[in-house]
């Protein structure tokens, strides 16, 4: 079985540009999470979805960030306009509620650099 798939793996962009990160969760999983990881702040939850519906977006830093999940197999995280302080590794994770562990499985991440 394929794990969580994220694209692109690396993104370098200039300040002010729009950035779109993509995620395909594990098939059958009903929860999808977006995280951001930096050395200073560690791994922070940005937003999570249940059955394609956003449940908690309190971690989204500001209005420049938006996330969508149009169907069970695809989600996007968009930053517009991007700023240098957005540079981080962005992880997508998925899980299946009701399992014995509710384990979150992480994708490989997208390393974003905003110049």
The answer to whether residues 46 and 29 touch, using CB atoms and an 8 Å cutoff, is no
The interface region with another protein, picked from 15-23, 36-44, 63-71, 72-80 by CB under 8 A, is: 36-44
The answer to whether residues 104 and 35 touch, using CB atoms and an 8 Å cutoff, is no
Query: Given candidates 15, 43, 51, 80, which one binds another protein under the rule CB under 8 A?
Result: 43
The answer to whether residues 33 and 23 touch, using CB atoms and an 8 Å cutoff, is no
* Least distance between another protein and beta carbon 83 (Å): 23
Using the rule CB under 8 A, is 104 a contact of another protein?
A: yes
What stretches of 39-97 show up as alpha helix (H) in DSSP? none
The interface region with another protein, picked from 20-28, 62-70, 71-79, 93-101 by CB under 8 A, is: 93-101
Strand order in the sheet with 5-7: 5-7, 19-24, 74-79, 65-71
Q: Which CB, 79 or 90, lies closer to another protein? A: 90
> Contact residues for another protein (CB under 8 A)?
31, 33, 41-45, 48, 50, 55-56, 91, 95, 97, 101-109
């Amino acid at each position: 079985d394929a794990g969580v798939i994220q694209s692109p793996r690396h993104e370098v962009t200039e300040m002010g540009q729009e950035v779109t990160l993509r995620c395909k969760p594990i098939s059958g999983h009903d929860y999808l999470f977006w995280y951001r990881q930096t050395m200073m702040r560690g791994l922070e939850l940005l937003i999570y979805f249940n059955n394609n519906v956003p449940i908690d977006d309190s971690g989204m830093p500001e209005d420049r960030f938006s996330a969508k999940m149009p169907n069970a197999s695809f989600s996007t995280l968009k930053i517009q306009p991007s700023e240098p302080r957005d540079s981080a590794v962005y992880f997508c994770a998925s899980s299946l509620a009701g399992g014995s562990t509710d384990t979150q499985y992480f994708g490989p991440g997208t390393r974003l650099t905003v110049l």
